[in-house]
Structure formats: structure tokens, C-alpha cells
Amino acid sequence: MKKIVHRLLGPVLVLSLVFSLLIPCSMTAEGYAFTPPFTIESQSGIVLNMDSNTVIYEKNADRQEMPAHLAQIMTAIIVLENCENIDQTTVPMSVNPNTLFQNYEEADDIRYAGIGSGDRLTVLEYLYAMMLTSSCEAAHILAIHAGGGSLDTFIGMMNQKAAEIGCTGTHFTNPTGLYDTYQITTARDMMLITQYALEKVPQFREIATADRFSTSSKSTSIEYALNGWTWEHANTMTSTENLFYYEGAKGIKTGNLNNYGRNIVTMATRDGITYLVVLLAAPFDDVEGELQYYHIVDATNLLDWAFSSFQYTTLIGDDEEIAELPVLDSNGNDFVLVRPKESLSILWCTDVDITAIQRVPTYNENITAPIKEGDVLGRLDLKFSNDVIASVDLVAVSDVNRSAVKHNANAFITYFTEDGLGSTFHLSLFFACIISLAYIILCIYSAYEAHRKQEAMEAVHVMPPDSNPNTPAQQKKAWKRSDPVFYHKNPEDKK
């Protein structure tokens, strides 16, 4: 299904909107994607479900744009992570804000919080001024303070932190967010930076989502000398008195540059579900040159669509039997049932039938007893348009005991077949033959050496004793079979 075409004039616009309401989710040729029934005017954007960390929508999310005053989110991160006792540490405004940015050409881009030269505020108060009003003088003085007096050091810390968070298309050149062609980011990177700040940086959420804040510090100027400063969040979606008020919205950050466009990072929560929206480079004017707030309109439309079209859907339960798998060496049943290790629920567009999701299982090979209930025996991938959208382990439903007889028999057969004659058995037989042959050769050589060294010895023969050895008759009479007889080979002895 093709995406709804861009906004057209007259009846064409009406017809396109009516048609689009019938298809809040659609397919693309590249795979599956959830597409809202409208187009947004912002050049790039991304929507994240923060509960499941699921991106449900993106447009040019990796295209590099200028962050504008959204850069101050990173400024706040560095300050909060590197400064202690922020509610007690005071820092003087040591420069004149009016002259601080006097060389900047676009004066309308500069946001001030009414802080004058000589005023002394706490680090925490400067952070509120920056995050609620995009105060450039607050961003500058915070960078000097946290950077140890060096702006370059602070900017280096910003870029190092961006790399640590995982940003791949972001580079900072100043802490204020004012126009610089080399200061760039992407919608995806700003999502990662904001998500990190909200989840990992203490006090950031409290500061960035405050509707208003009043200081305890007093100003040296007459205007703020009596009651101090009170700042309201620049995100008009949080104000009940504003036309763009959005129930459940939290501010975080806005940023505008005349030569670039409007940016916004905001979040909203309804029924326990929270979405984060990042939009970059929304135009200031429509085609007729009329001033517009497309970044607010886009954020409102995307949040309405997200809350109405998505819900958590159980795709598979943990009690569902997936398959019977054969088991070797089992004592009894030669199979085991497998089920998902846990129930699998995902955030899903309600207008897309879940029967379109494919189940693709993979099982372990040669499953052998014993098996314990809960042993992982495979994995189940859930695919939609050939993309894996979720995975879960497959585990044994019950125990399977091992049969000693089957195990030993299979081990013997395996030794001579599967593993054997081609490798282990032949190798063992080869070494046995080598050792045997060496032993035989050693025995033959030892026997030969023993025979060669044997010395010839004279034979000694035993004769029966006689009192008169010269009397033959007496010799014969005295001889007994049991007596030793000595025979001599010497011919002279016979005489």
C-alpha cells in the first residue's frame, strides 16, 4: 500500500485525508513500517515508545540537521554530570549578555532569560533558565563554569559524551545551539541523547519537564530585584491556556533558527504509556507565506496517532506448545515438548492483522537425555515481511531421564560410525600399530644382541662316584641312576 501523498489543495486534500483515515498503518516495499494517515511538515523526525524502547515511526531519522537550541540538552547533561551541589553553588554572570552575542547576525535566534551582568544565580537556576526558555546567556555561563573556565574544553566534553551515548551523526561547536554550519545532529541521535538524559542523568527529567520555575536568587536589575525570575516552558503544548495545549505533554526542549526552521523534543503520557517525539527542521511558513507552528502540529498529530493506533498485543503465550522434538538416549518417551520461555507481547499497530506474522522456529540438533524442564532447546523468531520483529527461547516442558543402556549402546555405535572410522578409531588404530611394531622390532633386536654376545662354554659330564675309579666292575656296581655322572669329551678318558 502506498503512503498518503503530501498535502494537496482544495477537494484533493479532503479526499486524501478521508482515505487516509481508513489506513492508519501501511506496508512499504522495503519491508514493514507503520505509517500514519498524514504527512508531517518537519524534514525529519522519530517517535519512540519509551516503555518498550520501540521506534514506531521515523522520517529521515539519520539525515543530518541543525539541532538549534536542542543542543542545550547536551549542555545540561554535561553540567549535571560534572557539577556538585548545583542548588547551592552560585555563579556570577561575569559578562554582559547584550555584548556576549553582539557579532551574531540573527538576533531573533538569541533567547534571553533576563539575567544581567553582575547577577548571581545557582547552577540549578541557570539550568532551569536554559531548559525552559532556551537562555543563551545561561548556556554560556554554565559551559564556562563546568568547563573549568574554557569553552573549548566544555565543547570537547559535549562531543565526547555524544560518542559515548552512541551518536553517529552529531557534532557540537557551541553550548547555546546558535547557528553554525558545523553543528549538526540527527533525529535519531537527539532521541538517544534525550533518552539518556531522562533515564541516566539525575534531576534532568525534573528540570526539563517543569512547566514553570521561580528563582530564590534576586536580580540586581529593578525588574527582577523584588521577586526574582519566573520562567515558563517555551513548549506551548504544556500550557493549559494555549491553543496547542496537549493533555499529558511534557516540555523538554524547543529550538528555532531563522535560517533553518523549528525543532522540538517533547514527550507525552496517557494510560501509562509514554512516547518521545523528536522533530527537526519544520518550516516557519506555509506555501502562502503565513506563519505556522508545524513542529507543534506535527508532534500533536503523531502523538494522537500513536495513542489511538498502538497497543500491547500478546503474540504468543508461555503455555503454548510449539513442537515435539526427538530425544536420544531417553528412558521412556523418545520426545519432549517445547514451549516459549516467556509470553511475548509487543507494541503493535491495531490495524495490522497479527496473523500476517510468521513463526520461524529453529531447534537444537541431536537433543540427548537427560533433559530438565526449562532447558533451552531452540528459538522462535517472529517475522513480518521478512523482518524479525521479536524472538523468544523455546524450552522443555518436562524432564526426560537418560537410559544407561541406550546411552552406552549409542556411544559405542557413535564411536565406530559417526565419529569413528573416519577419525578417532583410525587414529587410535594407527598409533596402536606403530607402538606394536616398534615393540616387535625391539624384541627381535634384543634377542639378536643376546645371541651374538653369548660365549661358548666347555661341557662338563657327571660320572657316578667309585672308591676305585680304575676298576670298571666296581664303577658299574657302585653307580646308581640317581648319582651324578660326569662325562668328558676328552678321548683319553675312555682308556
DSSP sequence for 30-74 = TEEE---SS--SSSEEEEEETTTTEEEEEESTTS-B--GGGHHHH
φ, ψ at 475 (rounded to 5°)? -65, -45
In the chain, the N- to C-terminal Cα span, in Å, equals 135
Domain endpoint, select from 311, 338, 370: 311
Tell me the CB-side half-sphere exposure of residue 122, using CA atoms within 13 A. Answer: 15
How far is residue 199's CA from residue 398's CA, in Å, rounded to a whole number? Answer: 40
Question: Which carries the bigger pLDDT value, residue 441 or residue 6?
Answer: 441
Assess whether pLDDT exceeds 70 at residue 484.
no
pLDDT at residue 33, rounded to an integer: 62
SS3 state at 57? strand
Q: What pLDDT score does 31 carry? A: 37
Q: Report yes or no: 140 and 69 within 8 Å, Cβ to Cβ.
A: no
| pLDDT more than 90, % of the chain | 60
Interval 490-494 mean pLDDT:
52
Residue with the larger pLDDT of the pair 475 and 412: 412
What digits encode the pLDDT tens for the residues 230-260? 999 999 999 999 999 999 999 999 999 999 9
Q: Give the pLDDT mean for 371-394.
A: 91
Q: Say what the pLDDT of residue 482 is.
A: 54
Rounded mean pLDDT, 381-391: 88
| Cβ atoms < 10 Å from Cβ of 306 | 23
Same domain? 197 vs 331: no
Under 8 Å between Cβ of 268 and 303: yes
Yes or no: say if 404 and 429 are a contact pair by the CB < 8 Å rule.
Answer: no
User: Quick one: 383 and 368 in the same domain?
Assistant: yes
266 plus 378 within the same structural domain: no
Would 410 be classed as within a structural domain? no
CA atoms of 44 and 283, how far apart (whole Å): 11
Q: Is the model's pLDDT at 420 over the cut of 60? A: no
pLDDT level of residue 387 (50, 70, 90 thresholds): confident
Assess whether pLDDT exceeds 70 at residue 491.
Answer: no
- Domain shared by 159 and 277, yes or no: yes
Per the document, the length of the chain is 495
Q: Which helix (H) or strand (E) holds 444?
A: helix 425-453
Higher pLDDT, 369 or 140: 140
Alpha-carbon span 89 to 83, nearest angstrom: 9
**162 and 262: one domain?**
yes
* pLDDT given at position 447: 82
pLDDT band at 32 (very low <50, low <70, confident <90, very high): low
CATH number for 214: 3.40.710.10
- What pLDDT does 224 receive? 80
At residue 19, the pLDDT reads: 35
- The verdict on residue 342 lying in a domain is yes
Please indicate, yes or no, whether residues 217 and 356 belong to a single structural domain of this protein: no
Mean pLDDT, rounded, for 31-45? 85
- C-beta of residue 201 within 8 angstroms of C-beta of residue 210: no
Q: Are residues 382 and 472 in the same domain?
A: no
For residue 3, is it within any domain? yes
Of residues 84, 97, 90, the one with CA closest to residue 140: 97
Q: Give the pLDDT confidence score for residue 460 in this predicted structure.
A: 53
- Which pLDDT does position 35 carry in this prediction? 87
Rounded to the nearest 10 degrees, what angle do helices 151-165 and 136-146 cross at? 90
More confident call, 356 vs 133: 133
Beta strands in 375-440 (DSSP E): 376-384, 387-396
pLDDT at position 189, please? 98
SS3 371: strand
Q: Are the C-beta atoms of residues 118 and 97 closer than 8 Å to each other?
A: no
Residue 322 in any domain: the answer is yes
More confident: 10 or 211: 211
Report if residue 412 sits inside a domain: no
pLDDT of residue 165: 98
Contact yes or no for 307/84 (Cβ under 8 A): no
Let me know if residue 407 belongs to a domain.
no
Residue 485 in any domain: the answer is yes
* pLDDT score of 186 more than 60: yes
Give the mean model confidence (pLDDT) for residues 409-427: 58
Q: Are both 129 and 196 inside the same structural domain?
A: yes
Dihedral pair phi/psi, residue 342, rounded to 5°: -150, 160
Compute the mean pLDDT over every residue in the chain, rounded to the nearest whole number: 84
Residue 3 has pLDDT above 50, yes or no: no
| Same domain? 223 vs 122 | yes
Q: Is the pLDDT of residue 493 over 60?
A: no
Task: Indicate whether 414 belongs to any domain.
Answer: no
In this structure, of 133-137, 176-180, 319-323, 442-446, the range with the lowest mean pLDDT score is 442-446
Residue 130: predicted pLDDT: 98
CA 247 remoteness from chain centre: 33
End residue of a domain, out of 283, 311, 339: 311
Do 177 and 291 lie in one domain? The reply is yes
Predicted pLDDT at 450 = 79
Q: What is the pLDDT of residues 443-476, one digit of tens each?
A: 888 888 777 776 545 555 555 555 555 555 555 5
Query: Mean per-residue pLDDT for 19-42?
Result: 60
| 274/191 same-domain check | yes
Question: What are the distances in angstroms from CA 20 to CA 78, 189, 483?
Answer: 44, 30, 132
pLDDT value, residue 22: 38
Share of the chain above pLDDT 70, in %: 80
d(C-alpha 80, C-alpha 143), whole Å? 11
DSSP 8-state symbol, 491: G
C-alpha 494/C-alpha 91 separation (Å) is 139
How many C-beta atoms lie closer than 10 Å to residue 279's C-beta?
31
Task: Look up the domain containing 436 and give its range.
Answer: 419-453
7, amino acid identity: R
Give the model's pLDDT for residue 67.
98
Q: What is the pLDDT of residue 12?
A: 35
Q: Which of the four pLDDT bands, split at 50, 70 and 90, describes residue 13?
A: very low
Count: domains in the chain: 5
Q: Tell me the pLDDT tens digit for each residue of 78-128.
A: 999 999 999 999 999 988 888 899 889 899 999 999 999 989 999 999 999
Rounded to whole angstroms, the Cα distance separating 223 from 398 reads: 76
For residues 484 and 429, state if they share a domain. Answer: no
- pLDDT above 80: residue 4: no
